[in-house]
Structure 1
Amino acid sequence: MAKQLALVLLVAVVAAAATSVAAATKLTLHNLCPYPVWPLVTPNTGFPSISGNTARLDGGGRGLVSYDFPASFWAGRVVARTGCGGGGGLVRCETGNAPPATVVQLVVHSPEGAQDLAAYSVSLVDGFNVPAVVSPQAIAGGGQCPALGCAADLNAGCPRSQRVVGAGGAVVACRGTADYFKARCPLTRTTGSDVEPVPQHCLAPGELKVVFCQPSMVAAAVPELIRTVVANI
C-alpha cells in the first residue's frame, strides 16, 4: 500500500513538472535590419523586469537574444532603439527612448478560466522607427495565433513634415498619421481604439518572437490568417 501511494505521488510530481515546463514562455528578439538595434524591454507598472536592457543586436541576422518571461501573468512592451552610444550606463539614442517609435505590446500567462492566454500587438500610435513583427512559436494550447506587425520601412515614404532626421542626414523615424500607417501596415494598431482585422486567441505559446526588419509577411492557406517568414537561427 505504501509503495502504491509513493508511486501515485511520484506520478503526480512528474505531471506537475511537465505542466510547468509546458507553460514556460520566452521572449526572443532577432535583428534582421542592416544596422544594429538596442532593444528596450519595459514591464508595465507592477510587473518585474526581465531584461537589463544592455544588449546590442548587430544587424543582418547576427543579433539574437532571448529572455524568460515570469511563470505568472506579465505585461510589457519592447522598443528597438537605434543610433545609440554613451558610457557609464547612460545610453543616448537617436530613436526609441521617446516617441516616435514602434512599440511591441506583450501579455503572457493571462488567466482566462483555466487557459494560459498570450496577447500581443505592434502599435504605431506613438509613431514609427523600426519595422517589427511578432509571432508566437511552439504553440502548446492552440487557438488563433496570427503574426502581427509591420514589415515595411515606413521611414522611406514618410511625409517630409513628419520625418525625424538623424545626425547622418537619414530619416530615422516617422511621426506619421494613423491613415498613413494603417494603409501600409494594416496589421498594426494606429489609434487608441484600433484592433487588427484578424482574430487572435493564442493559448500557451512557448515563445513570442519579435523580428526587426523581417523581409515580408505572407498570407497562409487559411483565409485572413497572416503568418510570417521567420528565420529560426
Structure 2
Amino acid sequence: MPMARALAFVVVLLAASAGASTATTLTLHNICPHPIWPLVTPNSGLPSISDNTARLDPNALLSLSFPPTFWAGRVVARTGCDSAASRCDTGAAPPVTVAQLTVHDGGDLDLAAYSVSLVDGFNVPMVISPQAIGGGQCPALGCAVDLNCDCPPAQRVADGAACRGPPGYFKNRCPLTRTTPTDVEPVPQSCRAPGELKIIFCQPSMVATAAAEAEMVIRTVVADS
C-alpha cells in the first residue's frame, strides 16, 4: 500500500507539472524594413504586461511575460511614431491589424487561443506562430501579405500606410484572418500549453497550397529564426 500511495503521489505531481506548462512568453519580432512601436493592451480588469514604450527596429525582438493566470488582450503595431510614441501615423487608431490573444484559459490553465483580426482594417502584415507546443492543434494564423499595396484607392489611409478594407478584399488575400465580427478561420485550433506565442510583423510567408487536393496545408512557421 505505501508503494501504491507513492506511485499515486508521483502521478499527481506529473499531472500538476503538465498543467503548469502553460504559455508564459509573448515574443514580438519585427521583420519589417521600418521600425514599429508595439502596443499591447489587456482586456478590462486584467494586468498590463508592457509599458508600450519599446521601439522595434528591423530584426529586433521584444519578449514579454504573461501572468500565470488567465489573461486576454490585443497587440497592434504602430508605425511612423515620434520619439515618445505619443503620435503615430498608423496603429494608434483604426485601420489597424490586431492580434487577439487568450492564454491560461480552462480549468487546468493550459489553453491558448489566438487570431489576427482585420475587422478594424489593416496596417502591417502580422502572423501568430505558437512555439514549444504542449499539444493540440496550433496552426500559424494571420496575414503575411502587405494589403496596402493593392488597397482600393478610396480605402487608403495615411498616404497608403493603412487600408480600411473592404472585408472581401482582406479575406481573399488573407483567408487565415478574421474580417467580420462573426468570421472564423477555416482551420481548427485547439492549442494546449504553448511555451511561447510569437507575433511576427512582416513575416515573408506562411501558407503552402496542396494543389492536388485543392486545400490549404497549414504549417507552424519559424522562417524568421
TM-score of the pair, normalised by structure 1: 0.84
1:130 corresponding residue in structure 2: 124
The alpha-carbon deviation at position 19 of structure 1 amounts to: 4.8
Confirm or deny: 8 A CA contact 2:23 2:112 kept in the other structure.
no
User: 1:227 aligned to 2:205?
Assistant: no
Q: Which amino acid aligns with 1:38?
A: W
User: 1:151 aligned to 2:150?
Assistant: no
2:202 corresponding residue in structure 1: 213
The alpha-carbon deviation at position 178 of structure 1 amounts to: 0.7
Q: Which amino acid aligns with 2:122?
A: F
Deviations 1:170-229 (A, max 9, x none): x10000111010000000000000000000000010000000000001338897441243
Deviations 1:87-117 (A, max 9, x none): 4xx6210000000000000000111x44611
2:44 corresponding residue in structure 1: 45
Change (3 A) 1:220 1:144: farther
1:28 corresponding residue in structure 2: 27
Distance in 2, Cα, partners of 1:43 & 1:115: 18
Pick one of 60, 63, 68 that aligns with 2:65: 68
**How many residue pairs align between the two structures?**
217
Confirm or deny: 8 A CA contact 2:207 2:217 kept in the other structure.
no
The alpha-carbon deviation at position 84 of structure 1 amounts to: 0.3
The alpha-carbon deviation at position 231 of structure 1 amounts to: 4.0
The alpha-carbon deviation at position 41 of structure 1 amounts to: 0.3
Change (3 A) 1:178 1:53: same
Runs of 4+ in 1 over 6 A off after TM superposition: 10-14, 220-223
Unaligned runs of 5+ in 1: none
TM-score of the pair, normalised by structure 2: 0.87
What SS does the corresponding residue of 1:179 show, helix, strand or coil?
Answer: helix
Q: Which amino acid aligns with 1:23?
A: T
Confirm or deny: 8 A CA contact 1:214 1:230 kept in the other structure.
no
Give identity over the alignment, percent: 67
Pick one of 110, 113, 117 that aligns with 1:116: 110
User: 1:85 aligned to 2:91?
Assistant: no
What SS does the corresponding residue of 2:199 show, helix, strand or coil?
Answer: strand
User: 1:160 aligned to 2:159?
Assistant: no
Pick one of 95, 106, 125 that aligns with 2:90: 95
User: 1:203 aligned to 2:189?
Assistant: no
Change (3 A) 1:117 1:21: closer
Deviations 1:44-67 (A, max 9, x none): 1111000010111101x2x10110
Change (3 A) 1:85 1:13: farther
Change (3 A) 1:17 1:55: farther
Distance in 2, Cα, partners of 1:64 & 1:213: 13
